[in-house]
Structure 1
Amino acid sequence: METKILKELFEWAKSLTIAVILAFLIHTFLFAVVVVSGPSMEPTLQNNERLIMNKIIYKIHAPKRGDIVIFHASEKEDYIKRVIGEPGDKVEFRNQQLYINDQPTQEPYLDRYSGKIITEDFPPVTVPDGMIFVVGDNRGNSTDSRIIGPISLNKVIGRADLAIWPLSQIRKLWN
């Protein structure tokens, strides 16, 4: 009887150990939960919303225009912003319009701001190789590449793939 109980305990311990190791590996290398802090991505993302960050995607390919990325802004702080400029792109804001390589660019994620002044003019900037240009969707309340400059691809830690909290707002965040 005792050996049966010990066997059962050993099997439970083994299963629990495997589960903990798998959870650690998944969290470290594949996915993580991040919390939105502040209003810079409103109305797309809200303060305290929980997101699933895909950590592996940018090992496969570079961030693309429109992606919502998480990057190290400093040693202690990560930012969540939208990519609008890829390496080599010329980025400019003029009369409430985003221009990429001198072409007006639609930003459907800003449709909720229709008719409101949301983006001050910003002179042309060419995004250097190995960098991206990011902005918050809430252009009037965002510390982004217009202030801190283009972001090194080495600082990008992942893409926001899913909003998971609050439960009533679960949705995918990429196209």
Structure 2
Amino acid sequence: MTSKKRSWTDWLKLIIILLLILLIVRMFTFNPLIVEGPSMQPTLMNDDRIIVDKISLLFKEPERFDIVVFHTTSRKNYIKRIIGLPGETIEYKDDILYVNNKQVDEPFITSVKDQLPLNARYTTNFTLLEDIPGGYNKVPDGHVFVLGDNRPNSTDSRRLGYIPTNQITGIARFTYWPLNEFGLIK
């Protein structure tokens, strides 16, 4: 009887240890997330299931066009694409992105822009100094400038202002649901 009892307690200890390991891995490396809302369409749709990579941020800063998850309040996470990095000027004019006065292509929204009527704008014109909260002409140190891919319907840096890099919790890397979207996020 004692060997059965010992075997049962050994299994219980093993299960508890495995659950703790899984919890630690999930907390510090990868996290599943459900996309809420249309702000990242066409790249990510409402209710898409994605994997957010947390560990990369320990080794390097996020880069332009990374899709990041960040906190703006203790209860609300946002998912947006980094457009501007610290020290850069960002301007949108006639539906073209300019970073440090140089045109930058955004291939992830080309298909949507191509469907617009002639002379229609997907992204409204703006400059950092005149139109973005904070009164800066460059993205401040320790911050990024983010936009949703669905520019007409996104709460992003145009409204929220600059996002502190220490509020970024991860980088969206992989879609696992729906199955027809299974794969790396571009």
Aligned mates of 2:148, 2:125 — CA distance in 1: 15
Quote the residue 1:39 is aligned against: 38
Q: What letter is aligned with 1:61? A: K
Q: Is the counterpart of residue 167 in structure 1 residue 179 in structure 2? A: yes
1:12 paired residue number: 11
Structure 1: any 5+ residue segments left out of the alignment? none
What TM-score do you get using the length of structure 2 for normalisation? 0.88
Separation in 2, partners of 1:100, 1:139: 17
Residue 119, structure 1, aligned to residue 123, structure 2: yes
AA matched with 1:58: L
Deviation at 1:113, TM superposition (A): 1.0
Alignment of 1:138-157 (within 5 A): 138-157=150-169
1:69 aligns with 2:81: no
More strand by share: 1
Q: 1:129 aligns with which of 120, 141, 151?
A: 141
Looking at structure 1, the residues matched to 69 and 39 of structure 2 have their Cα atoms a distance apart, in angstroms, of 13
Cα pair 2:65 2:83 within 8 Å, conserved: yes
Letter in 2 for 1:37: E
CA RMSD of aligned residues (A): 1.3
Structure 1 stretches of at least 4 aligned residues deviating more than 3 Å after TM superposition? none
**Structure 2 letter corresponding to 1:151:** I
Q: Secondary structure at the match of 1:47?
A: coil
Residue 7 of structure 1: CA displacement?
A: 3.2
Verify the 8 A CA contact 2:43 2:108 in the aligned structure 1. Answer: yes
In 2, Cα distance between equivalents of 1:114 and 1:133: 21
Q: Which segment is superposed worse, 12-21 or 95-104?
A: 12-21
SS at structure 1 position matched to 2:144: strand
Equivalent in the alignment of 2:132: none
- 1:35 CA displacement: 1.1
Question: Matched residues, percent identical?
Answer: 38
How far, CA to CA, are the matches of 1:15 and 1:75 in structure 2? Answer: 34
Q: Distance in 1 between matches of 2:39 and 2:12?
A: 45
Q: Specify the alignment match of 1:28 in structure 2.
A: 27
Name the CA distance, whole Å, in 1 between partners of 2:113 and 2:83. Answer: 19
2:73 match: secondary structure: coil
Give the secondary-structure state (helix, strand or coil) at the position aligned to 2:38: coil
Q: Which stretch of the first structure deviates more once superposed, 19-28 or 115-124? A: 115-124
